[in-house]
């Protein structure tokens, strides 16, 4: 799709699919949205779908399925043990990753639970390019510590580096030299590093990381939840590998890792997850605990229908026209916002467009959650639901002080094949209006703060009646519009 040029020279993404099932949306008036965000305690996780226009909370479990995926669900083979559906999925995993053993699980964090239970011992460390919330929790619960060894580029909001998700291999070598291999449970590489803006790693970096791990007998684990975006970025940004097909890149990646796990809520566009490996001893150890937490070995907590759809979804992930849809829509959104002077993470990554709330709302201190305030404000002025990825998503220190996040981001996820370009344009338009009126936005403070996972369930209130003032200004400017 990227090499189709418009006669007008306009540069816009072009969908290589057509819409055959639709869901009606409604856009409630701003007055209702103001009420709704207050009912939700200013936490976008607690909003009800009926009050939302464009749901950009996440790409997890909400990607559009293809006609082939839906059709495959009808031929699912229902049985507790030994279903044909599982065999088809297992064979697809072998074909795509060339990995012999596959354990199904109900979602990505379930894989993290099994892997951490088997591999992490008290006092061990797990080096990685960047943590994901659930990953860190599972490692910590089992007595381990996460060591982030990202490169100097990773945390720069604006950069031209195409692979901000790379591991700094010098840091990896010094960690090994400092602690010795015994202390390292495994090395984890996350495709499309979620929390720093969906930024990919390069194949060159993986080759180097894998070599270091092999030389030191350390297990290398790939979190492939966001692999589809990362595959597209390798193909389109890494000159050295541009002649490899997506299948060849995938096989190459898999050959460099000992274990691959994924959330199929993202990879494969269904709901589920799985762990793949060629290491039979490790497989046997993980296999033992699977029935305890997930289900029997041939379904692992997934419905057979989802497994059939996953088999097709993984196959479709090998199609460049399919996997580039997300990244090129995101790139469009990032470029348009940048042109208007709105601070966003660059280069555009996968998963979604990330707005830099630290600069957007530079007058709000981190202790008043600028990214959370931006999420609430954007919902009020547009009905668009995003996700706070900043201090609010951190957990307080044992002494009660805040852990100030490295970045304050508002993530606007673009689930794959879900939104049209005019919907993306609407979101851009309302973000621009909000940027012009940003001085009206102020911070948030907790009224109900759970000790763990506060970003999921916590309730907050505005520090002043700024939301009413924002609504009034919106009404003045958009007197006859929703």
Catalytic residues: 80, 132-133, 223, 266, 389, 455
Largest alpha-carbon pair distance within the chain? 67
CA distances (Å), 379 to each of 31, 52, 347, in order?
Answer: 12, 8, 25
**Please, which residue, 148 or 190, has the CB nearer to ligand F0G?**
190
Shortest reach from residue 118's CB to ligand F0G, in Å? 17
CA distances (Å), 165 to each of 192, 200, 249, 316, 350, in order?
Answer: 7, 5, 17, 24, 11
Please say whether the beta carbons of 181 and 216 come within 8 A: yes
Shortest reach from residue 93's CB to ligand F0G, in Å? 17
Residue 41, φ and ψ in degrees, nearest 5: 60, 35
CA distances (Å), 251 to each of 102, 244, 260, 281, in order?
Answer: 16, 10, 12, 22
Binding site for ligand F0G (CB under 6 A): 58, 60, 107-109, 132, 134-135, 190, 194, 223, 225-226, 263, 265, 273
Distance CA 41, CA 460 (A): 5
Residue 45, φ and ψ in degrees, nearest 5: -65, -25
Distance CA 397, CA 141 (A): 16
Verify cis geometry, omega within 30 degrees of 0, for the bond prior to 347.
Answer: yes
Half-sphere exposure at residue 225, Cβ-oriented, CA atoms within 13 angstroms: 30
Q: Is 274 exposed, middle or buried (0-12, 13-18, 19+ CB in 10 A)?
A: buried
**Please, which residue, 188 or 430, has the CB nearer to ligand F0G?**
188
Shortest reach from residue 313's CB to ligand F0G, in Å? 14
Shortest reach from residue 253's CB to ligand F0G, in Å? 15
**Please, which residue, 63 or 225, has the CB nearer to ligand F0G?**
225
DSSP string, 36-95: HHHHTTT-GGGS-GGG-SEE-S-SSS-SPPPHHHHHHHTT----SSS-HHHHHHHHHHHH
**Closest residue to ligand F0G in the complex (CB):** 108
Distance CA 52, CA 379 (A): 8
- Provide the H-helix boundaries in 294-356: 304-316, 320-323, 325-339
- Nearest CA among 192, 196, 197, 173 for reference residue 184: 173
**Please, which residue, 34 or 118, has the CB nearer to ligand F0G?**
118
Count other C-beta atoms under 10 Å from residue 240's C-beta.
10
* CA-angle at 242, arms to 241 and 247, nearest 5°: 80
Shortest reach from residue 482's CB to ligand F0G, in Å? 27
Distance CA 415, CA 422 (A): 15
**Please, which residue, 199 or 471, has the CB nearer to ligand F0G?**
199
**Please, which residue, 109 or 417, has the CB nearer to ligand F0G?**
109
Shortest reach from residue 191's CB to ligand F0G, in Å? 7
Shortest reach from residue 291's CB to ligand F0G, in Å? 19
Shortest reach from residue 351's CB to ligand F0G, in Å? 7
Pairing state of beta strands 384-385 and 54-55?
parallel
């Amino acid at each position: 799709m990227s090499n189709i040029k418009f006669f007008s020279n306009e540069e816009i993404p072009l969908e290589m699919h057509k819409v055959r099932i639709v869901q009606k949306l409604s856009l409630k008036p701003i007055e209702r949205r103001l009420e709704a965000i207050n009912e939700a305690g200013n936490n976008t996780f607690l909003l009800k779908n009926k009050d939302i226009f464009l749901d950009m909370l996440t790409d997890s479990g909400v990607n559009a399925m293809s006609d082939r995926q839906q059709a495959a669900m009808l031929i699912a083979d229902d049985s507790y043990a030994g279903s044909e559906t599982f065999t088809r999925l297992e064979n697809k995993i072998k074909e795509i990753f060339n990995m012999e053993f596959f354990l199904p699980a109900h979602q990505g964090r379930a894989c993290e639970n099994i892997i951490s239970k088997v591999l992490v011992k008290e006092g061990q460390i797990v080096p990685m390019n960047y943590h994901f919330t659930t990953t860190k929790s599972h490692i910590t619960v089992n007595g381990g510590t996460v060591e982030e060894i990202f490169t100097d580029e990773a945390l720069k909001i604006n950069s031209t580096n195409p692979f901000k998700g790379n591991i700094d291999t010098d840091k990896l070598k010094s960690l090994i030299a400092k602690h010795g291999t015994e202390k390292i449970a495994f090395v984890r590489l996350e495709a499309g590093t979620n929390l720093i803006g969906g930024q990919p790693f390069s194949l060159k970096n993986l080759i180097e990381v894998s070599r270091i791990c092999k030389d030191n007998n350390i297990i290398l684990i790939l979190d492939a939840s966001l692999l589809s975006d990362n595959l597209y970025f390798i193909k389109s940004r890494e000159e050295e590998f541009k002649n490899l097909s997506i299948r060849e890149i995938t096989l190459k990646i898999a050959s460099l890792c000992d274990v691959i796990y994924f959330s199929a809520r993202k990879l494969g566009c269904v709901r589920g997850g799985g762990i793949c490996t060629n290491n039979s001893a490790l497989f046997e150890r993980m296999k033992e605990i699977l029935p305890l937490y997930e289900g029997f070995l041939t379904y692992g907590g997934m419905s057979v229908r989802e497994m059939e759809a996953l088999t097709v979804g993984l196959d479709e992930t090998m199609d460049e026209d399919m996997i580039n849809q997300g990244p090129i829509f995101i790139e469009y959104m990032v470029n348009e916002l940048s042109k208007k002077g709105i601070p966003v993470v660059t280069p555009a990554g996968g998963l979604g467009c990330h707005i830099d709330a630290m600069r957007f709302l530079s007058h709000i201190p981190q202790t008043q959650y600028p990214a959370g305030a931006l999420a609430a404000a954007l919902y009020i002025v547009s009905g668009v639901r995003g996700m706070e990825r900043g201090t609010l998503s951190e957990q307080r220190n044992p002494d009660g002080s805040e852990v100030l996040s490295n970045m304050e981001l508002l993530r606007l996820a673009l689930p794959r094949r879900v939104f049209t370009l005019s919907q993306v344009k609407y979101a851009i338009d309302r973000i621009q209006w909000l940027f012009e009126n940003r001085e009206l936005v102020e911070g948030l403070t907790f009224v109900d703060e759970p000790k763990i996972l506060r970003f999921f369930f916590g309730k907050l209130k505005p520090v002043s009646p700024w939301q009413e003032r924002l609504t009034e200004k919106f009404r003045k400017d958009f007197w006859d519009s929703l």
